[in-house]
Amino acid sequence: MAQLTHADKGAFIASVSTGLKTNAAAFAGKDFDPVARAAVLDAATANINTKAGVRIAAETALTAAVADENKAIDDGYNLASTAVGGVSGTLTEKHPLTQQFRKMRGSLHHASPAAAPAAAAVAK
């Protein structure tokens, strides 16, 4: 059986609901109420739409939060870089503290959080 997307499943729910209502006369005298079943499906669709709205709002908020965090990280990094420039300008480029800061940034440049788990997985 193929994997159905949310859109596929939603279309199926709507089609069944519509088909039940459109063909209600075919169930006359039978122990099956197509209009009641369609109402249940319509309620399910409304619930799905509500949940989708919540998800969309959460995704939007998450996207904004990630952008805010990235900006804060970049701003902080720029402040630290400016501070290192101030140390260099005040104490000279050859001063041990200036060199220590320059080495720290250089070593961080080569570190990657994404690379560490991959390397650990390969080592197993």
Distance of CA 40 to the CA centre of its chain: 31
Which own/partner pairs from 1-10 qualify as long-range (CB within 8 Å, at least 24 positions apart)?
10/45, 10/48
Q: Quote the pLDDT of residue 109.
A: 65
Residues whose CB falls within 8 Å of the CB of residue 42, separated by 6 or more in sequence, listed in order: 17
Domain-located, residue 119? no
Domain-located, residue 117? no
Q: Which DSSP state fits 27?
A: G
Report the pLDDT averaged over residues 1-18. 94
Rounded to two decimals, the pTM is 0.67
Structural domain that includes position 106? 8-111
Q: How many structural domains compose the chain? A: 1
